[in-house]
C-alpha cells in the first residue's frame, strides 16, 4: 500500500523537529512542499537532499489527481507546509482526503503546531478548547464573533500582527470585559512573548507597542455563573 507521511516542521526554532520526521524526510521518494524555497532551506540545514514538488493552495485542486498517481507509483511521499503541521490553516486537507479515498495510507507524524504551545502557555483552561484558525476578514466575521461570544470553552485564534488591534477591539465589543486574553507572539523564536490581560489592557499595550511577527490569540473560557447561597 502506498503511503503519504504528513510531516510537521518547526514554527520558528529549527531544533523543533523530531528525529522521526528527519528520518522520514530522508527515506521518502519525494516531498510535497507549500513553498519549495522555504522547505529547501530546512532540508539544507539538515543535510537532506530530496526532490521537492510544489503543492500549495493555488494549485491543489488542479494537481491533486496527478499527485495521487505519483504517490501510488512511489515508495512513499511526504507533505510539509512552510511551518507547523500541514492542513492546519495550511494546504494539505484536500490531498489527505483524496489519498484516503484512493487507499493511500496516511501516516501523520506528531510535531509542531502553534496551537498547543499557545493554549498551554496561556495558562487558561486547556481541558477542552476550540480552534477557529483565522477569522474571515469581512463577510461572516460579525456572525463568528457572536457565535464565539456564546462559546464556553477557551478559544484559540490565528491572527496577523496588523489585524491584532482590530481583533482585540472586537473582543472588547462582543465578549465580557473581565475575559482574560493571551497574545502569544513569536513562539519558539528569539522574541517570544506571552502578554496576558483583559482586552482593554492589551489594547492599551499593543497600541503603544505595535506587534510584529506571528501571533496566536487565546481567549479564556467563559466563567461559570457563581452559585448563590440558595442553590
Using rule CB under 6 A, residue 184 touches ligand SAM: yes
Question: Which residue, among 141, 137, 180, has the nearest Cα to 162 in the 3D structure?
Answer: 137
> Nearer Cβ to ligand SAM, position 13 or 75?
13
Using rule CB under 6 A, residue 170 touches ligand SAM: no
Using rule CB under 6 A, residue 215 touches ligand SAM: yes
User: What residues have CB less than 8 Å from 72, skipping those under 6 apart?
Assistant: 2, 102, 104
Q: Which of residues 22-41 bind ligand SAM (CB under 6 A)?
A: none
Using rule CB under 6 A, residue 151 touches ligand SAM: no
CA distances to 29, 97, 178, 191, 217 from 131, rounded to whole Å, are 33, 20, 21, 24, 10
Cell of 153: 470553552
Using rule CB under 6 A, residue 188 touches ligand SAM: yes
Residue nearest to ligand SAM (CB): 84
CB of 55 closer than 8 Å to CB of 95: yes
Q: Which of residues 76-115 bind ligand SAM (CB under 6 A)?
A: 81, 83-85, 88-90, 113-115
Three-class SS of residue 174? helix
Binding site for ligand SAM (CB under 6 A): 11-12, 81, 83-85, 88-90, 113-115, 158-160, 184, 186-189, 214-216
Amino acid at each position: 500500500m502506498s503511503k503519504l507521511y504528513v510531516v510537521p516542521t518547526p514554527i520558528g526554532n529549527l531544533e523543533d523537529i523530531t528525529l522521526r520526521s528527519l528520518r522520514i524526510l530522508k527515506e521518502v521518494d519525494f516531498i510535497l512542499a507549500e513553498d519549495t524555497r522555504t522547505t529547501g532551506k530546512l532540508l539544507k540545514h539538515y543535510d537532506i537532499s530530496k526532490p521537492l514538488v510544489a503543492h500549495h493552495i493555488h494549485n491543489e485542486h488542479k494537481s491533486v489527481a496527478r499527485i495521487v498517481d505519483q504517490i501510488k507509483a512511489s515508495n512513499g511521499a511526504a507533505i510539509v507546509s512552510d511551518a507547523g503541521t500541514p492542513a492546519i490553516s495550511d494546504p494539505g486537507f484536500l490531498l489527505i482526503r483524496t489519498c484516503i479515498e484512493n487507499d493511500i495510507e496516511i501516516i501523520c507524524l506528531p510535531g509542531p503546531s502553534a496551537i498547543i504551545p499557545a493554549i498551554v502557555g496561556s495558562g487558561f483552561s486547556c481541558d477542552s478548547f476550540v480552534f477557529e484558525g483565522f477569522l474571515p476578514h469581512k463577510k461572516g466575521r460579525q456572525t463568528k464573533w457572536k457565535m464565539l461570544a456564546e462559546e464556553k470553552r477557551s478559544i484559540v485564534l490565528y491572527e496577523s500582527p496588523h489585524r491584532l488591534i482590530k481583533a482585540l477591539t472586537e473582543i472588547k465589543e462582543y465578549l465580557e470585559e473581565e475575559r482574560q486574553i493571551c497574545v502569544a507572539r513569536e513562539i519558539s523564536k528569539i522574541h517570544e512573548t506571552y502578554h496576558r490581560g483583559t482586552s482593554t489592557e492589551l489594547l492599551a499595550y499593543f497600541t503603544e507597542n505595535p506587534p510584529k511577527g506571528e501571533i496566536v490569540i487565546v481567549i479564556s473560557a467563559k466563567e461559570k455563573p457563581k452559585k448563590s447561597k440558595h442553590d
